[in-house]
Amino acid sequence: MRRPLASFFVGLALAGCGGPIAGARQTLPLPAHFTAVARATTDDPDGLRVLWNGGADTSEHGAWIATTHAELEALWERVGAAGPVPEVDLRTHVVIGEAFMNGACMDEIVAVERDAEGRVLLRTEPLVEMCIALAVQDARVVAVPRSVLGERITWFSVDDDDGGAYAFRIPPPSPDASGTVSPGAPSTERDAIASALGTIALPARGTLALRALDDGREVWVAHLPDGRVHVVAADAVSTNDWLRHPVRWDAARGRFATEHDVTGRSVHGGVPLETHAFARVGEDRIAVGEVVSIAPRGTVEPRAAAPAIEGDAMPYASLPVIDQQTLEAVPEGFVARVGADLVTGLDGPPRLCMLPEDPKLRAHFEGCDDTSLALRDAPAEARRGISVVHGPLLVRRRGDTLDLAIADGAGESGWVVEHRIAEPAPAGPTRARGALALDVEASGDTRGAPDGFAIECVPAGGSPDESWSFVAPRDGSFAFELASDHDGAIAIVADDGSPLACNDDRHGHYRSSVAHATLAAGQQVRVIVDGFGGQAGAYRLRATETPALEREGVLALGVTVAGDTSRATDDLSAGCHAPAHDDAWRLEVSEPGRHRVRIEADGWHPLLAAYADGESIPATCGLGTGGGSREETYDLAAGTWWIVVDGAREEDVGAYRLTVERAD
């Protein structure tokens, strides 16, 4: 026999001192079969009102109702809803709120239903196809018509438990239950606009379209089938009040991507989009005025009645990207899309400039220079790091500042600036130190020396430098390795001043550099010890001879070559932890396909890696075990590849045999 619903109401409690009415928790699954006998929707002027549907500043779990203003204020605080307490006509509606753990997205609430047993369910529709299942605190607060609820209900909650329901007895309206429920989206139409921002074409009935105002800023114009017109801003405030983002229309769901309906009203009870006043100018044009306020909560336009989109769904999609120099020629006060970044530096306001392309310069970047256009009314305090809104950006220039910045969807990033570019050393001749002998370590200190040489591979100069002379004892390949207590750099320069080789950072390590040069017997070169960005300090320098690889370092399919990394240098490590000495063999792949690489090594464990020519990160790498023999199969595209023999420990060096064959 079915248990009477009335037995569920044992333990129902009323919160004292004007608090909300708490429901009695029941452990019940969601109904498998549900036939509604009463229903209210969000598009009904007298129907369901969504007051809040989103993140909650509370740790509470549960469900409550409010039938008086004091109870509503307490409920709003209990569930942790944002913003001011809404106005609700509590003579005709009962407010129901719940707080629960949820994922990162909230579905749109579209209706509330009650069946003959008094069970009440909210009906929702998804706004996104996928959602991250994060454990975050959320809340829902809705105003439900009393005509839907009846005297006793069981409210089924969205909770982190398997199932949850709350039993309520709905009290009659209180004498102080007054107020008004926000009606449908109010019209912003006026008889006339004194100072129009633009006069634009009205789209056909039943359509939604983007229109540009006189300054190029775009607005959404909705001309609904019943003749109503709504003008909604095509950009909205982003995560801070000085940056905005475009408002895209999602035609598949009949909503703006910001989860607002076509009138600009939030479907979750949040802040509405900006809407403009307008006046009709003839039958097919309107004059658009300034932004005016609309009630944040009220009737939401149904998805099924959403207008058809005319033209682009993304604002400013047809606006071309220009560079900063061209931006200077754009008339003041006009919106333009510029291929630059908005950088909030270590001090001052955000400014428009291009980030350095070099990743090392980016790590030391302190912000745009003071001549760059600054964003008006943005914060200008001191900071520890950089934040970047990546371009292109939509901006509007007013004199030497920007009064509008709209992020165009390229994303944001930021980092702490650990080290700044140092003050440059005084210019002067490079300090000479003497002769550098083969296999003999030399040491020095660049502090106090002038800056006499500019190394082409160092993106930021200004460091003091010293030079050593080296004479090749015989024909051969020579490596020059630098270890410094600062961010050093090294260059090899011929007697006539022409550069032969240079290196700033050995596979990403700022305090280690290595450069290679092939020299003839008796050839003299200068070895320049320099630095990055004005840095200076002590260093150690060594020159060694590196044996030539067999077959000039070129692999042929099916031909085994022999090598020995014990006399090599450590040049490559990116993508794999490989601090040992390494050999790099060139492989020309004429036809793409799978290639088998086999290495045999006695007494040490080699690491194999494959680099496409010109790439700093290997396509793949793997560590040999069990005596050092290893076989890898690589899927290689046509072109030049480098097969690298390395080691995962500094002591992993030695003799080996290497073979490459087709594997398909």
DSSP characters over 602-661:
SSS-EEEEEEETT-SS-SEEEE--SSS-EEEEEEE-SEEEEEEEEESSTT---EEEEEEE
pLDDT of residue 202: 97
Domain with CATH 2.102.10.10 in the chain: 198-310
Instruction: For residues 234 and 246, give the distance between their C-alpha atoms in angstroms, rounded to a whole number.
Output: 6
Q: Are strands 62-66 and 108-115 parallel, antiparallel or unpaired?
A: unpaired
Q: Report CA torsion sign: 148, 150, 153, 159.
A: positive
Residue pair 367/351 in contact by the 8 Å Cβ criterion: yes
Give the integer Cα–Cα distance in Å for 79 and 98. 6
Residue 13 phi/psi, 5-degree rounding, is: -125, 150
Q: Judge contact between 392 and 337, C-beta under 8 A.
A: yes
Number of CB atoms found within 10 A of residue 215's CB: 14
Does an H or E element contain 395, and which?
strand 393-398
pLDDT at 163: 58
> Rounded to whole angstroms, what are the CA distances from 271 to 51, 54, 187, 220, 435?
11, 12, 17, 17, 73
The full DSSP string for 219-281 is EEEEE-TTS-EEEEESEEE-SSTT-EEE--EETTTTEETTSB-TTS-BTTS-PPPPEEEEEE-
Give the integer Cα–Cα distance in Å for 24 and 20.
Answer: 13
- Token readout for 147 is 């005509």
Q: How does DSSP classify residue 5?
A: G
Strands 476-484 and 512-519, by their bridges, are antiparallel
Say how many Å lie between the first and final Cα of the chain, rounded: 70
The torsion defined by the Cα of 188, 247, 53 and 145, in degrees rounded to 10, comes to 30
Query: In which residue ranges of the chain is pLDDT below 50?
Result: 1-16, 160-161, 624-626
Can you give the pLDDT at residue 319? 95
d(Cα 575, Cα 653) in Å, to the nearest integer?
A: 19
* Tokens standing for residue 116: 């003959």
Sorted by sequence, the CB contacts under 8 Å of residue 168 that are 6+ apart come out as 12, 21, 23, 24, 63, 65, 152, 153, 154, 155
The Cβ-side half-sphere exposure at 545, using a 13 Å CA radius, reads 13
Under DSSP, the state recorded for 325 is: H
DSSP 3-state assignment of 71? helix
Q: 240 CB contacts (<8 Å, ≥6 apart)?
A: none
Whole-number pLDDT of residue 133? 59
Evaluate whether the domain defined by 550-662 bears CATH number 3.30.70.150. no
**555-557-559 Cα angle (round to 5):** 70
Is domain 198-310 classified as CATH 2.102.10.10?
Answer: yes
Q: Which residues contact 354 (CB under 8 A, 6 or more apart)?
A: 324, 340, 341
The residues pairing with 63 across neighbouring beta strands, listed in sequence order, are 98
Task: Give CA–CA dist 268/342, Å, rounded.
Answer: 31
Query: 563-584 b/e with 16+ CB inside 10 Å = b?
Result: bbbeebbbbbbebbebbbbbbb
- Identify the three-state secondary structure at position 200: strand
Q: Specify the domain boundaries for CATH 2.60.120.380 within the chain.
A: 431-546, 550-662
Segments of 35-162 assigned E as strands: 36-41, 49-55, 62-66, 93-102, 108-115, 119-125, 136-145, 152-156
Tell me whether strands 442-445 and 538-546 are parallel, antiparallel or unpaired: antiparallel
pTM for the complete prediction? 0.78
CA atoms within a 13 Å half-sphere pointing along the CA-CB vector of 175: 0
Per-residue pLDDT at 11? 37
Q: What is the DSSP string of 335-356?
A: EEEES-EEEE-SSSS-EEEPPP
**DSSP letter string, 431-500:** EEEEE--BT--EEEE-TT--B----TT-SS-----EEEEEE-SSSEEEEEEEEESSSEEEEEEETTS-EE
CA distances from 651 to 482, 567, 581, 621, 647 (A): 20, 12, 9, 18, 8
Mean pLDDT of the chain: 90
Query: Tell me, what DSSP letter sits at residue 144?
Result: E
Question: What DSSP state is assigned to residue 170?
Answer: -
- As its CATH architecture, domain 431-546 has Sandwich (2.60)
